[in-house]
Amino acid sequence: MQVEQIIYDSSGRRNPAGAPILSNKAQFVLIFGNKEQLLQPHIYEELRQLYPAAYLLGGTTAGEIYEDMATDGTVSATAVSMERSEVRFASVAIEAGQYIQAAAALIDQLPTQGLRHVFVLSEGININGSKLVDGLSHSLPEGVTLSGGLAGDGNNYQETFILANARPQRDRLAAIGFYGAHIHFGYASQGGWSPFGIERLITRSQDNILYTFDDKPALALYRQYLGEYAEGLPAAGLYFPLMVRSPDYRHTFIRTIQRLNEEQDALVFSGDVPQGYYSKLMRSNFDRLIEGSREAARQSLEMIGGTAELAILVSCVGRKLVLDQLTSEEVEAGRRVMGKETIFTGFYSYGEILSQPASTDCELHNQTMTITVLREE
């Protein structure tokens, strides 16, 4: 496997390892960028010229990850050429409410013979991530694993874009499928958040819209809990995500606020918040988040059984807000585990997607560091 990176920042284009050399050899390019930067027409046009035979897949972000850094206001492009493995590309439009159908249509575009893993990027705001992931999980062939994330828009929560072999578009779902026995994957997801306060019953919800806790309006109660932070909603909700558990304690997951429904005094989350489940607010600190990143790196390497040539890091925008000026520390924590030779790319997302270990079931995560590592033999 050969990997090279190009970075676009305020000073223009730079090539950390020298001039691009892969050109026609590159099979795919992962492109993660600040919305204002990524939407500039010359970015796509230039990358298409540099890598004419490659599949181009990317999206807007809430921050970019490359080398050992977490940054803002840049575009990173990571070109990959594999000697003994193949890739295929898929892309579909997402119609309103048709998340499961879009997922099925996406997977249907990928030939099943030899398919090992799918890396997927999706629209990040006008989406029910739980429904999307359910559709992907049920459509994947037996034994095929999945990772990826929802596109971001900084702390703005206004609009996201997916770059799918064309200039960036709204309401898009796209993926790259990896094929062959010579490509190996490892993956893991870890958080670092702790619940606190009163546990409340979700007494009325529909899909990803939460109307009432304990028969009290959800938005009003959330504002009461957040106090001075409430003026910053919905972004302020990232500091205090919601832990949701089933009545039998068998299922526990984290949800973050996507947007507010002022008219109905309700909260809209990135994934489902089932009625009859219980919920608590969560919080974290620097040390727990860094340890979560370190553990995700350790577990992903353990799964792949050795070193990795490429690591794709998808972390949540909420972690970035808490870590603030120390955000790069969670990237460096992963680097200390993986060593200097692994190329890092990735982004800060509005939701992380990952298969469960020893299973093809997939989940939408929030507030995690999710890492996918690759190696070709």
Structural tokens at position 171: 């309401």
* 311 shares its domain with 358: yes
Mean pLDDT for 3-31 is 88
Residue 352 pLDDT greater than 70, yes or no: yes
Residue 78 pLDDT greater than 90, yes or no: yes
| pLDDT given at position 358 | 64
| Mean pLDDT value across the chain | 94
- Give the 3-state DSSP-derived string for 290-348, with helices as H, strands as E and coil as C: HHHHHHHHHHHHHHHCCCCCEEEEEEEHHHHHHHHHHCHHHHHHHHHHHCCCCEEEEEE
* 85 shares its domain with 9: yes
| pLDDT given at position 24 | 94
What is the extent of the structural domain holding 44? 2-190+287-376
* 81 shares its domain with 156: yes
| pLDDT given at position 357 | 74
Mean pLDDT for 61-88 is 96
For the stretch 210-239, pLDDT in tens is 999 999 999 999 999 888 889 889 888 888
* 279 shares its domain with 291: no
Mean pLDDT for 26-33 is 98
Question: Of 254, 283, 312, which residue constitutes the final position of a domain?
Answer: 283
| pLDDT given at position 234 | 87
* 38 shares its domain with 149: yes
Total residue count of the chain as it appears in this document: 377
Residue 17 pLDDT greater than 80, yes or no: no
Residue 360 pLDDT greater than 80, yes or no: no
Question: Of 229, 258, 283, which residue constitutes the final position of a domain?
Answer: 283
Residue 187 pLDDT greater than 80, yes or no: yes
Residue 7 pLDDT greater than 90, yes or no: yes
* 261 shares its domain with 306: no
Q: Kind of pairing, strands 194-206 and 278-283?
A: antiparallel
For the stretch 273-285, pLDDT in tens is 999 999 999 988 8
Calpha distance 102→84 (Å, rounded):
31
Calpha distance 234→259 (Å, rounded):
6
Mean pLDDT for 249-272 is 93
Q: What's the one-letter identity of residue 81?
A: S
* 214 shares its domain with 180: no
Using a pLDDT cut of 90, give the percent of the chain over it: 85
Residue 248 pLDDT greater than 90, yes or no: yes
Confidence label for 11 from pLDDT (cuts 50, 70 and 90): confident
Q: Coil, helix or strand for 111?
A: coil
Q: Coil, helix or strand for 44?
A: helix
- Number of structural domains the chain divides into: 2
Mean pLDDT for 79-91 is 97
* 98 shares its domain with 122: yes
Q: What's the one-letter identity of residue 365?
A: H
* 162 shares its domain with 39: yes
The answer to whether the beta carbons of residues 259 and 237 sit under 8 Å apart is no
* 91 shares its domain with 110: yes
Question: Of 242, 258, 283, which residue constitutes the final position of a domain?
Answer: 283
Residue 10 pLDDT greater than 90, yes or no: no
| pLDDT given at position 19 | 67
C-beta atoms surrounding 101 within 10 Å: 14
Residue of 256, 324, 257, 255 lying closest to 289 (CA atoms): 324
**What is the pTM assigned to this prediction?**
0.94
Cβ neighbours of residue 306 under 8 Å, at least 6 residues apart?
375
Residue 297 pLDDT greater than 80, yes or no: yes
* 216 shares its domain with 151: no
